[in-house]
């Protein structure tokens, strides 16, 4: 597989940081969008000065920033999540990414993190999230973004729905399925989610409106 140019959203987050390091180690180039690109210095070697990184200051809710980000990109990878309770960016980001990507002569593939329970993937986990006190408005934002991704017809989309993220050391394994509901999912490390995302970056087998449910082993 030749080296790719990857447009990365959420590069300064936990999953995004793991993904950025893995992608660079694999020889790919990154165009990384961040509100504060200086934060990349603590996440990847040489930060924004890495020879295979172009850091772009911007906001995923701004379509002009997204248009700048995806110039020349082969793949768009979103590791975004709602940053704090009451701040909901998932729907706006999904709309911006897909609308801008659809205008390209050859729309790039888009890989987007959602959550298990969205899109009707598991009513049980959806209920557990509510009982755990998850922000209902935040959950609704994820669900709306997930629906937008599922109904996209111009841009090739991969929806990744991980369950219960944690920051433990990676296991190097995960369970991924596009078929059965995931009722007995296990927590998964953010590093293992990033490893799956990198595999999905070069492997289009996961593309499609069904989405991938992802859990630990």
* Domains of the chain, start order: 5-208 (3.40.50.720)
Task: Compute CA 74 distance to the chain's CA centroid, rounded to the nearest angstrom.
Answer: 15
- Regions of the chain short of the pLDDT cut 50: none
Residue 1 confidence (pLDDT): 62
With contact defined as beta carbons under 8 Å apart, do 98 and 10 qualify?
A: no
Residue 85 confidence (pLDDT): 73
Residue 132 confidence (pLDDT): 64
Residue 126 confidence (pLDDT): 67
Residue 34 confidence (pLDDT): 93
Please state, in angstroms and rounded to a whole number, the distance separating the CA atoms of residues 48 and 45. 9
Residue 208 confidence (pLDDT): 85
Q: What is the tens place of the pLDDT at every residue in 113-137?
A: 998 777 777 666 666 666 666 677 8
Task: Compute CA 69 distance to the chain's CA centroid, rounded to the nearest angstrom.
Answer: 15
Residue spans of beta strands (DSSP E) within the chain = 5-9, 29-34, 53-57, 75-78, 109-113, 157-162, 165-166, 175-177, 188-189, 208-215
Residue 209 confidence (pLDDT): 80
């Amino acid at each position: 597989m030749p080296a790719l140019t990857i447009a990365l959203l959420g590069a300064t987050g936990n999953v995004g940081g793991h993904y950025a390091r893995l992608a660079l180690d694999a020889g790919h180039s990154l165009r990384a969008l961040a509100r504060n690109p200086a934060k990349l210095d603590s996440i990847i070697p040489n930060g924004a000065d890495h020879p295979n990184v172009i850091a772009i200051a911007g906001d995923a809710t701004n379509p002009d920033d997204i248009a700048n980000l995806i110039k020349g990109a082969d793949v768009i990878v979103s590791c975004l999540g709602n940053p704090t309770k009451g701040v909901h960016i998932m729907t706006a980001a999904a709309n911006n990414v897909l609308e801008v990507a659809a205008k390209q002569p050859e729309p790039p593939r888009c890989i987007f993190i959602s959550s298990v329970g969205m899109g009707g993937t598991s009513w049980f986990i959806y209920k557990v999230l509510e009982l755990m006190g998850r922000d209902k408005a935040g959950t609704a934002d994820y669900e709306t973004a997930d629906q937008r991704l599922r109904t996209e017809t111009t841009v090739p989309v991969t929806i990744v729905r991980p369950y219960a993220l944690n920051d433990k050391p990676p296991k190097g394994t995960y369970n991924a399925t596009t078929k059965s509901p995931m009722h007995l999912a296990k927590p998964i490390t953010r590093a293992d989610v990033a490893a799956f995302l990198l595999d999905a970056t070069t492997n289009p087998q996961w593309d499609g409106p069904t989405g991938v449910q992802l859990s630990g082993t």
